[in-house]
C-alpha cells in the first residue's frame, strides 16, 4: 500500500485507475470457505510490476491453480481449503523472462489465512 501511495505521488500510476480498498483487485475471486488467500506481486529485477504474468499455485497433491497478474503485478487466488499452505509451491512465468527469486512472507499467528509471495523475474 505504501509503495502504491509513493508511486501515485511520483505520478507513476497516473494511467492506472484507483479503487477503494487500495488496489484494482475485484474480490470476485474471494469465496467464503475457499481456504487461505494466496496473493503477491510479480516484478522485474528493478521492482517494476509485470502485467499478465502467469502465476501457478501447485499443491503437492491435486490440480494446479493458474492466475494472472494485473496492471500492478498483483495476483490473488485460492486453493482448496484442505490444502496446507506449506504444501503449495508458487511459481511465475512470462515470455522473455525467467524467475530468479520467490519470497514468501508468513503472517504472524498460528492460522495463516493470507499467504503472500513475491516473484522476481529477470529479462532474458
Edge to edge, the sheet with strand 88-93 lists: 65-68, 54-59, 88-93
Among the four given CATH numbers 1.10.1500.10, 2.60.40.1120, 2.40.160.20, 3.40.309.10, the one describing domain 33-123: 2.60.40.1120
**Domain residue spans of the chain:** 33-123
The CA-to-CA distance between both ends of the chain, in Å, stands at 29
**pTM for the whole thing?**
0.72
Q: Tens of pLDDT along the chain (124 residues)?
A: 555 554 544 444 444 443 333 444 444 445 555 788 899 999 999 999 999 999 999 999 989 999 999 999 999 999 888 888 889 999 999 999 999 999 998 766 645 678 899 999 999 9
Q: CB–CB of 37/113 below 8 Å?
A: yes
Q: CB–CB of 74/23 below 8 Å?
A: yes
Amino acid at each position: 500500500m505504501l509503495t502504491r501511495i509513493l508511486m501515485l505521488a511520483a505520478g507513476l500510476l497516473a494511467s492506472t485507475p484507483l479503487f477503494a480498498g487500495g488496489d484494482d483487485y475485484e474480490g470476485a475471486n474471494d469465496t467464503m470457505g475457499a481456504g487461505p488467500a494466496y496473493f503477491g506481486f510479480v516484478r522485474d529485477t528493478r521492482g517494476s510490476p509485470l502485467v499478465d504474468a502467469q502465476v501457478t499455485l501447485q499443491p503437492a497433491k491435486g490440480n494446479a491453480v493458474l492466475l494472472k497478474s494485473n496492471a500492478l503485478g498483483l495476483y490473488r487466488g485460492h486453493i482448496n481449503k484442505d490444502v496446507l499452505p506449506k504444501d503449495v509451491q508458487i511459481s511465475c512465468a512470462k515470455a522473455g523472462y525467467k524467475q530468479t527469486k520467490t519470497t514468501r512472507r508468513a503472517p504472524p499467528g498460528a492460522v495463516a489465512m493470507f499467504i503472500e509471495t513475491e516473484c522476481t523475474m529477470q529479462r532474458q
